[in-house]
Structure 1
Amino acid sequence: MDIKGKVVAITGAGRGLGQAMALHLASRGAILALLDNNEQDLAKTGEMIAAKGSRVGVYWCDIRDEEQVNQAFSRLVRELGGLHLLVNNAGLMQDALLVKWQDGKLVNKMSLSQWQSVLDVNLTGTFLCGREAAAHMAELGEGGLIVNISSVARAGNRGQSNYSATKAGVAALVVCWAGELSRYGIRVAGIAPGAIATDMTAQMKPEAMARLTQQIPAKRLAEVDELVHSLQYIIENDYFHGRILEMDGGLRL
């Protein structure tokens, strides 16, 4: 896909990876549709893109809410004139052990709210946005591409029952949708990064970060630009379909 002049929707576009991907694709001539539930972050990213002379639309949206998602995608297609690429990037991390015992006593359990909140954003939000993007792309008849951001944690990671389950689900959706949507000329792919230096990983405790870095054969976290490069590869390679591109510094050998 030649991204120039194409309409690109990115969820979680207000900061971090979403913002970086939006800025990169804008520099390549794409028309950006930014979705986020933080109005200030969303406005800031929109202003950054507009300042570079690129066309951009900002759409406040809670991706957990079906009606808000439906309205946001209908608006962006109407206002920007189409939809060619969706990056399902928005994500939430709320780590906790399933159960924690200390001195012979149960001191904590992963709460239902910790479990459900991560599923609502990472999995349900991805489903809702992917569904609406696919519906509009099929109706428009110009094909398209959906990229789900999964994680190395899709294989399972201690302390991340909720996050791992959602990222495994997000990866499975790539395969499901690739088989279903190819008839409409829609490609589907995923990226499964390891630890990336973002606001999300900055929330980790220092000792946890040190342990993680030592486990990575590359001995460092990935840079945001390296994920952006992976996305660019998927966009440009029209034969990449139904697969997950792993970018984890060798963490999952």
Structure 2
Amino acid sequence: MTVEDPDQGRVALVTGGSRGIGAAIAQALAADGYRVAATSRSGTAPEGVLPVVCDVTDADSVDAAFTTVEKELGPVEVLVANAGITRDTLLARMSEEDFTSVLDTNLTGAYRVIRRAARAMTRARFGRIVVMSSVVGLLGSAGQVNYAASKAGLIGIARSVSRELGARGVTCNVVAPGFISTDMTAVLPDKVIADYRARIPARRLGEVDDVVNAVRFLTSDATSYITGAVIPVDGGLGMGH
């Protein structure tokens, strides 16, 4: 698949872009005129988006994916590091593999794609990097020691990258979604959803578009003076953290 007009729009890459929030981000950027590729292990992507097979836990796979995007679309100018997994269980039951696999995908995976993207961005003296964290990385969550650790670590990555690459015109920011209404949350018991809604100052669950709009803002050319920021999209749930 190639874009219809390969000479127009910045090149954007969304990891974990085959479904859910990642797919919605990829579609929105494509609608905004970006030339968009989306990676996933399955190699599927929304219509109008270049699908690329990639396992972010494998450095060679990451390099191959970027090489494909560079060949088909050009150097990556906008990166949304969205790929992530969960293996929730209480600490007493959490195996070391449960912990390390989540860290390897969510945290080290982000490091791998950011490191690879930084090559072209620093040469071009332009780049927009957005990493997808979570309110859980700020608040903590019972049964999610691994996930919370990975999402908190992304903030450290983003702020360090901001200090290293800021002088080269590269920004790196964090979006931290809260309780977002998706297929995954739709199966939760009504009481659980009601309890969350009562804790959220906005008194509603977030929508996928709430997250998408934050990413669209941070990836735009107009945000050159915003870097190292954590943007909560949580209706106030994590306020003060």
Shorter-chain TM-score above 0.5? yes
1:94 positional shift: 1.7
1:144 positional shift: 0.9
Q: Report the counterpart of residue 58 of structure 2 in structure 1.
A: 65
Supply the AA of the counterpart residue of 2:128: L
Instruction: Please give the alpha-carbon distance, in whole angstroms, between the structure 2 residues aligned to 1:231 and 1:177.
Output: 18
Supply the AA of the counterpart residue of 1:25: L
CA contact (8 A) 2:39 2:54 kept: yes
Q: How many residue pairs end up in the alignment?
A: 229
Supply the AA of the counterpart residue of 1:94: R
CA contact (8 A) 2:169 2:224 kept: no
Instruction: Please give the alpha-carbon distance, in whole angstroms, between the structure 2 residues aligned to 1:142 and 1:57.
Output: 25
1:214 positional shift: 2.5
Q: Report the counterpart of residue 20 of structure 1 in structure 2.
A: 24
1:142 positional shift: 4.3
Q: Matched residue of 1:245: which SS?
A: strand
Supply the AA of the counterpart residue of 1:61: C
CA contact (8 A) 1:84 1:142 kept: no
1:199 positional shift: 3.5
Q: Report the counterpart of residue 94 of structure 1 in structure 2.
A: 87
- Gaps (5+ residues) in structure 2? 1-7
The structure 1 segments of at least 4 consecutive aligned residues displaced by more than 3 Å after TM superposition are 199-210
1:187 positional shift: 0.9
Counterpart mapping for 1:34-45 below 5 A: 34-39=38-43, 42-43=44-45, 45=46
TM-score normalized with structure 1 length = 0.85
CA contact (8 A) 1:196 1:221 kept: yes
Q: Matched residue of 2:71: which SS?
A: helix
Q: Report the counterpart of residue 238 of structure 2 in structure 1.
A: 252
1:86 positional shift: 0.2
CA contact (8 A) 2:129 2:219 kept: no
Counterpart mapping for 1:55-204 below 5 A: 56-99=49-92, 109-139=93-123, 141-155=124-138, 156-202=140-186, 204=188
1:183 positional shift: 2.7
Q: Report the counterpart of residue 228 of structure 2 in structure 1.
A: 242
In the alignment, structure 1 residue 233 sits paired with structure 2 residue 237: no
Greater C-alpha Rg: 1
Percent sequence identity over aligned pairs: 39
1:7 positional shift: 0.2
Q: Matched residue of 2:204: which SS?
A: coil
